A and B are shown apart, each in its own frame.
Chain A
Amino acid sequence: MTDVDAVLTRVHHEEWARVVATLARRYGDLDIAEETAAEAFATAVERWPVDGVPPNPGGWLTTTAHRKAIDRIRREARRTEKHKEALMLSDTPQPVDAVEPVEPVDAVEDDRLRLVLVCCHPALAVPAQVALTLRMVGGLTVPEIARAFLVEESTLGRRITRAKAKIKAARIPYRVPSREDLPARVTGVLAVLYLIFNEGYLATDPAQHAVRGDLTAEAIRLARLVHGLLPEDGEAAGLLALMLLTEARRPARVSASGELVALGEQDRGAWDRTLIAEGHALVRARLACGQAPGRYQVLAAINAVHTDAPDVRDTDWSQVLALYDRLVRLDPSPIVRLNRAVAVAELDGPQVALAQLDGLPLEGYHPFHATRADLLRRLGRSEEARAAYDRAIALAGNTAETAYLVRRRDQLAGG
């Protein structure tokens, strides 16, 4: 990779959302914003290797995209008088010639938050929110997103087009919601980012790589952006910390032979210390602020306890259990109870934990059977353990996870 290529990649990461967001606000049209931003980057790819990288790459891209947007609007306005009329009638009358193309990049910080909130608007279906966020804010191409979420490119293209059309026709506003509306809206944004992260961390399809570093990286990048824009939001900080502490363990999570490595068996020397330090700092800052933590903050704290232990035997399980108790109060779902039972097993033994799994309505959820299988194995109830592993294997989709479960099952005594 040449230096210019590296700069282009970095600038694309850093500036894409800014450029799109500025244009979206200016022209009130996601199509124009996205397409002209893409054209501006394409121009940069041609010009920078010849002319050199401009001193302010973000400003250069924004200016170029603005010029292209203006050209385009003029072209379209000339094409039909009707179009021109539509432009004049648009909500934010913007005389084309009055657009001053250069804008200080720092002044548009809020535009990106606006863009994230528009993409994650609750009036859009969640798959559309995910796709739009990755396209408009993340700058991923439609084929990239389609690959990540295993949908046909044409389906995804239609989903994005439809979402953009709804934004325009229904007038989903380009606005940061009022203070009282913001927390509810941020919840949706964080949920979308968490979905993107989880799809990367444990790809659900056997045809995919077990871990998709590109998607986890993208989710973290967007979570950093949201946390940076809303530093006071505890859950935004919590989600970022949760992602960092989870991502830190990624290098140790799948063996060379492509098998999932359970937390207790991971080579902790392979964990990413930088990410752990950053995650811990975020968790500590949230604890210090004294506000009651939400779901992501508690999950981050649980991960902080795990990543704090140099060896699995040093894990402070009573702390983990206390945090799960807290989580159950925030979210009394069966999945949280299942995870809590894992901590119970460490403190009170597998028998007690197993009893707590009875009756959880998780028949179709493979981690339920995997956890039961492990507890039964530890209790020496091999036949029941085998049946539970079989059930988990039948339901699991992730290749590394299936490999792990198969090995565990085949190691059972009396096979």
Chain B
Amino acid sequence: MAQYLVSVLADSSQLATEQEMAAIGAFNRQLKAEGHWVFAGGLSSPDTATVVDGRDGEALFTDGPFLESKEYIIGFWIMEAPDLDVALRLAGQGSKHCNRRVEVRPILGA
């Protein structure tokens, strides 16, 4: 088995609608039932981010995201799947349920 990070992409700070939340809940239950579930979470908007640079000893804090871009990640799943085809199929369902585009990336060595 391998693990995949499935990031949910968005270009507005619009929160999920009630309908979308219900669909995501149903999908999460399905992931658990089928043994693909590892973890999932939603993220606060990028303007709540703080970039921390501790490379030179004293940590330096910068308000805001590390990357200014039109699209950003608003949530993610970590899924367990035997191969990319399964991960892509699950990601397709996830995208449909949360009504947003998603990006699939393998987690190294997992």
Q: From residue 166 to 185 of chain A, which have CB atoms closer than 8 A to chain B?
A: 169-173, 175, 177, 181
- Most B CB within 10 A of own CB, among A121, A123, A171, A173: A171
Contact indicator B83/A169 (Cβ below 8 Å): no
A-chain residues with CB within 8 Å of residue B82 when the two chains form the complex: 171, 173
Assess whether B84 is interfacial by the CB under 8 Å rule: yes
Assess whether B106 is interfacial by the CB under 8 Å rule: yes
Indicate with 1 or 0, residue by residue over A97-124, a CB within 8 angstroms of chain B CB atoms.
Answer: 0000000000000000000000001010
Q: Which of B85, B87, B88, B108 contacts A169 (CB under 8 A)? A: B108
Residue pairs across A and B with CB atoms within 8 Å: the count is 26
Cα of A121 to Cα of B85 in the assembled complex, Å = 9
Q: From residue 314 to 350 of chain A, which have CB atoms closer than 8 A to chain B?
A: none
Contact indicator A173/B85 (Cβ below 8 Å): yes
Q: From residue 71 to 92 of chain B, which have CB atoms closer than 8 A to chain A?
A: 82-85, 87-88
Q: From residue 143 to 182 of chain A, which have CB atoms closer than 8 A to chain B?
A: 169-173, 175, 177, 181
- Give how many A residues have a beta carbon under 8 Å from the other chain's beta carbons: 10
Contact indicator B83/A123 (Cβ below 8 Å): no
A-chain residues with CB within 8 Å of residue B85 when the two chains form the complex: 172-173, 175, 177, 181
Q: From residue 377 to 391 of chain A, which have CB atoms closer than 8 A to chain B?
A: none
Assess whether B2 is interfacial by the CB under 8 Å rule: yes
Contact indicator A171/B106 (Cβ below 8 Å): yes
Give B87 Cβ to nearest chain A Cβ, in Å: 8
Q: Which residue of B lies closest to A123 (CB)?
A: B84
Cα of A123 to Cα of B87 in the assembled complex, Å = 11
Cα of A173 to Cα of B2 in the assembled complex, Å = 12
Cα of A121 to Cα of B88 in the assembled complex, Å = 12
Cα of A190 to Cα of B83 in the assembled complex, Å = 24
Give B82 Cβ to nearest chain A Cβ, in Å: 8
Q: Which of A171, A175, A177 contacts B2 (CB under 8 A)? A: A171
Cα of A387 to Cα of B84 in the assembled complex, Å = 52
Give A117 Cβ to nearest chain B Cβ, in Å: 10
Q: Which residue of B lies closest to A181 (CB)?
A: B85
Cα of A171 to Cα of B106 in the assembled complex, Å = 8
Q: Which residue of B lies closest to A173 (CB)?
A: B83
Q: From residue 347 to 370 of chain A, which have CB atoms closer than 8 A to chain B?
A: none
Cα of A121 to Cα of B104 in the assembled complex, Å = 15
Give A178 Cβ to nearest chain B Cβ, in Å: 9
Give B48 Cβ to nearest chain A Cβ, in Å: 31
Cα of A177 to Cα of B106 in the assembled complex, Å = 20
Known contacts A123-B84, A170-B84, A172-B85; 8 additional CB pairs below 8 A are A121-B84, A123-B88, A169-B106, A170-B104, A170-B105, A171-B83, A173-B84, A175-B85
Interface residues of B (CB under 8 A from A): 2, 82-85, 87-88, 104-106, 108
Interface residues of A (CB under 8 A from B): 121, 123, 169-173, 175, 177, 181
Would you give 18 A-B contacts (Cβ < 8 Å), ordered by A? A121-B84, A123-B84, A123-B88, A169-B106, A170-B84, A170-B104, A170-B105, A170-B106, A171-B83, A171-B106, A172-B83, A172-B84, A172-B85, A173-B82, A173-B84, A175-B83, A175-B85, A177-B85
Those 4 A-B pairs whose CB atoms lie nearest each other, nearest first: A173-B83, A171-B83, A170-B84, A170-B106
